[in-house]
Amino acid sequence: MDRAPRQSRRKADPRTTSENLVERIRETLLFFGGEAHRRDVIANVARDIGVDVQNIPEDLENAMIVSFEETWRDETRRATYGFHLRFGEGSHRWGLKLATAH
């Protein structure tokens, strides 16, 4: 029985959607115990999606920062994801509220 070789499906670029980045940021914060410096979160997410952490593209870094900040500023999304800035706006210490980290 001849089978045509399977064509590989093209994977969606994980850097393209803000929602995907928000999910990855949340997973990384959970991995780090609920809180971490944003540079560590960015490096971990970049590593997870196969980006060289020594050369993280500026547009990817900016997309992650914007994704976190937009989610944090939106009351409904903040409650959904549990994003928290313990030291207030402008802080580079990203976190999750404990109730949502479990």
Residue 83 makes CB contacts below 8 A (sequence gap 6+) with: 25, 26, 68, 71, 72, 77, 94, 95, 96
At position 37, the amino acid (one-letter code) is: H
pTM above 0.75, yes or no: yes
For the domain covering 18-101, report its CATH number. 1.10.10
pLDDT in tens, the chain (102 residues): 445 444 433 344 444 477 899 999 999 999 999 999 999 999 999 999 999 999 999 999 999 999 999 999 999 999 999 999 988 888 999 999 965 444
| Structural domain spans, the chain | 18-101
Handedness of CA 42, 44, 46, 52 (dihedral sign): positive
For residues 43 and 60, the answer to whether their CB atoms sit within 8 Å is no
Handedness of CA 34, 37, 41, 43 (dihedral sign): negative
- If you search the block for the tokens 């093209």, which residue do you land on? 10
